[in-house]
Structure 1
Amino acid sequence: MNTVEEQVLAEQEALLAECKFYEGEKEPETKDAKLDHYEPAVVDGVPVGPPSTVLGAPVPRSPWSTSLLSCFGSFDEHFTSDLQVCVMGTFAPCVLYGSNMERLYPGEEGISRHHCLMYSYLYIMGANLLNLNLAPCISVGSRVALRRKYNLEGSGDCCFTESGDEESREGFNTFCDVFSHFVCHSCALCQEGRELRRRTRYPYYQPYMPMTPPMEQSMSPQM
């Protein structure tokens, strides 16, 4: 037997001895863990975080910032704006209505001028022909759109419960909006103007961006 055959034989005997050494030993549990001994974890306590909203549940309505008869607002930081709205609603309601529509539908070019002229036309025609103010026929739409856009409380919500018919509630609130514009037209316009100025910025408002001056520069002497 030569040297190569002796080396191969020695390696086979060593491998056989190693197999006999590990024979009958249990393999590590982490290699093939059995699922029979798995116990699911039990969670106790109250979940942390805001309560989940139910799909399809009605969203609570938010109140108006000021009431219908708050001519000068709430005497807060918006007093100057509220006073301006009150003056426009008393002496130039057409301008206030155009401004409200411009804030309610931003981005539409000429919307303020268009609604201001339409309001003035109905006001003059109704005063000359019927001795009535026909402007609420178009201005009531702004109140309905404002209330729906920001999910504001309607005047008729007090007559319905939270689980009441939503279609009947909306119809009654629309009727109350019409009643508010025909009975307290100037007050309704001013309330909408105050609400819009608290929730939106002027459409053409450009914030002031201060510019920092450049750093001081100096010239090094040339060699």
Structure 2
Amino acid sequence: MDDPVKPPPPLPVYGPGISKWSTGLCGCFSDISNCCCTLWCPCITFGRNAEILDKGMSSCAASGTVYCALSLFAGLGAIYTSRYRAKLRYEYMLPPRPCDDCLVHYFCKLCALCQEYRELKCRGLDPALGWYGNLRKHAQTVVMPPTVPEEMKR
């Protein structure tokens, strides 16, 4: 007996519904403060990105520490960070540009981390604030409904 309920088809990897990256991979100098932070301590940038992408389920410090520990072993840090790039791409339907996520992180780790940081900022999330800081920031933005004039009286 066939099951009448079928699961939805998987999301397309390429196609008209795919959005674009807001900045290029080599646009690091468009955010000098993040560029410098990533150059001297990439674990901070990665930890900030990971906290946002995990929606607060992991902390910046925990993710950054795991990244540092895995980076001591050749290439393992790139495998770990590329999972978060894939998560970011899935979340915002971004194409795998310029190539596979793992290759981008293996050969252009610092540029990739900066690009992901900028992408989150362009999407309205500031990784420097952390997940809960962004929740507070967006909770303060209260939109009031328009006022309706009183009925006319004769």
Relative to the length of structure 2, the TM-score reads 0.69
Q: How does 1:67-82 map to 2 (within 5 A)?
A: 67-73=24-30, 82=31
Q: Displacement of 1:85 after TM fit? A: 1.6
Larger relative helix fraction: 2
Q: Displacement of 1:119 after TM fit? A: 0.7
Q: In structure 2, what is the equivalent of residue 187 of structure 1?
A: 111
Alignment pair present for 1:88 and 2:37: yes
Q: Displacement of 1:155 after TM fit? A: 2.2
Distance 1:64 1:95 in 2: 22
Q: How does 1:10-89 map to 2 (within 5 A)?
A: 59-73=16-30, 82-89=31-38
Gaps of 5+ in 2: 1-8, 142-154
User: Aligned-residue CA RMSD in angstroms?
Assistant: 2.5
Alignment pair present for 1:106 and 2:55: yes
Q: Which moved more, 1:64-73 or 1:198-207?
A: 198-207
What secondary structure is seen at the aligned counterpart in 1 of 2:17? coil
State the number of aligned residues: 122
Distance 1:114 1:187 in 2: 22
Relative to the length of structure 1, the TM-score reads 0.49
Q: How does 1:107-186 map to 2 (within 5 A)?
A: 107-108=56-57, 110-123=58-71, 125-126=72-73, 132-155=74-97, 176-186=100-110
Structure with greater Cα Rg: 1
Gaps of 5+ in 1: 1-55, 74-81, 127-131, 157-172, 210-223
Query: What per-residue deviation string (whole Å, max 9, x for no partner) do you get for residues 138-185 of structure 1?
Result: 0000111100110012227xxxxxxxxxxxxxxxx6xx1111111111
What secondary structure is seen at the aligned counterpart in 1 of 2:43? helix
